[in-house]
Amino acid sequence: MFRRSQHFYDAIYAWKDYRAEVDKLLSIIRDRAPAARTLLDVACGTGKHLELLREHYEVEGVDVDPEMIAIAGERLGEAVPLHVADMTGLDLGRTFDVVTCLFSSIAYVQTDDGLRQAAASMARHTAPGGLVIMEPWFTPDAWEERHVTANVVDEPDLKIARMAVSPPLTDPLTLTFHYLVATPDGVEHFTEDHVVGMFTHEAYVAALEGAGLAVEHDPEGLMGRGLYVGRRA
């Protein structure tokens, strides 16, 4: 997973419009759970969504990566509780009106069994009548082998080129990212292997319904990857 790139994460994804995404989330939540007061963001990363969502809800975050949680803590301060935990075995001892899992982070559970465990874990942390909002990754039928990607950061004291070539489809799939990073201290190169699950639409629906949720699917979602909204009875 993330081995050395945590502190470059926000720079690499500076193109991402978190405000627009949160506005869409607010519209969904206000329409389906207008009385919602509390929200848990699973796989919260560096806390960029939470930074905006806390303007509207009492929020908490969880991520499996301690360095990501440390960065989120610096951003959000002590007022926002943050937890280091795996989404497949999460147990915070309380429920929330809304549980989110965004930016395709669900792919890191790798297997169908992991997907079912994560969905069940999120459902357990959702109050009656509350929502689980899950943003999927690409489905197997949308995978494009040998597709070349590059992200470039060009700041005064930070230059980054992150490149990858999509491998043949496997289950799970290993993506290797190559980083070339330049700072005033020098230039370094490193790689990261990200192992992710390639889940079908049917697998997402089955996992959420199996967790006791009534499921809606928006094929567009926050950024074109779709969105699943599950309501707990």
Report the pLDDT value the prediction gives residue 48, as an integer from 0 to 100.
Answer: 98
**Cα angle: 29, vertex 30, 32; to 5 degrees:** 65
What is each CA distance from 207 to 37, 60, 115, in whole angstroms? Answer: 26, 24, 7
Q: What are phi and psi of 73, to 5 degrees?
A: -65, -40
Model-level pTM greater than 0.95? yes
- 81 cis-preceded (ω within 30 degrees of 0): no
- How many CB atoms sit inside 10 A of residue 74's CB? 10
For residue 92, what are the contacts with CB-CB under 8 A and spacing of at least 6? 40, 60, 62, 83, 85, 125
Contact 57, 48 (CB under 8 A): no
Report the pLDDT value the prediction gives residue 1, as an integer from 0 to 100.
Answer: 80
Report the pLDDT value the prediction gives residue 3, as an integer from 0 to 100.
Answer: 83
What kind of fold does domain 6-139+198-232 have according to CATH? Rossmann fold (3.40.50)
What is each CA distance from 80 to 47, 61, 165, 202, 227, in whole angstroms? Answer: 10, 8, 38, 35, 25
Q: Which of 192, 216, 62, 54 is nearest to 132 (CA)?
A: 216
Say how far apart CA 99 and CA 105 lie, in whole Å: 13
Specify the DSSP element, H or E, that contains 115.
Answer: helix 112-124
What kind of fold does domain 144-196 have according to CATH? S-adenosyl-L-methionine-dependent methyltransferases (2.20.130)
Say how far apart CA 104 and CA 26 lie, in whole Å: 19
Report the pLDDT value the prediction gives residue 2, as an integer from 0 to 100.
Answer: 87
How would DSSP label each residue in 6-72?
Answer: GGGHHHHTTT--HHHHHHHHHHHHHHH-TT--EEEEET-TTSHHHHHHTTTSEEEEEES-HHHHHHH
Report the pLDDT value the prediction gives residue 169, as an integer from 0 to 100.
Answer: 95
Q: Which of 223, 129, 175 is nearest to 5 (CA)?
A: 175
Domain ranges of the chain: 6-139+198-232, 144-196
Q: At what angle do helices 112-124 and 201-210 cross, to 10 degrees?
A: 40
Per-block average pLDDT, block size 10, for the chain (233 residues)?
91 97 98 98 98 98 98 98 98 98 98 98 98 97 96 98 97 97 97 97 98 98 97 97
Report the pLDDT value the prediction gives residue 24, as an integer from 0 to 100.
Answer: 98
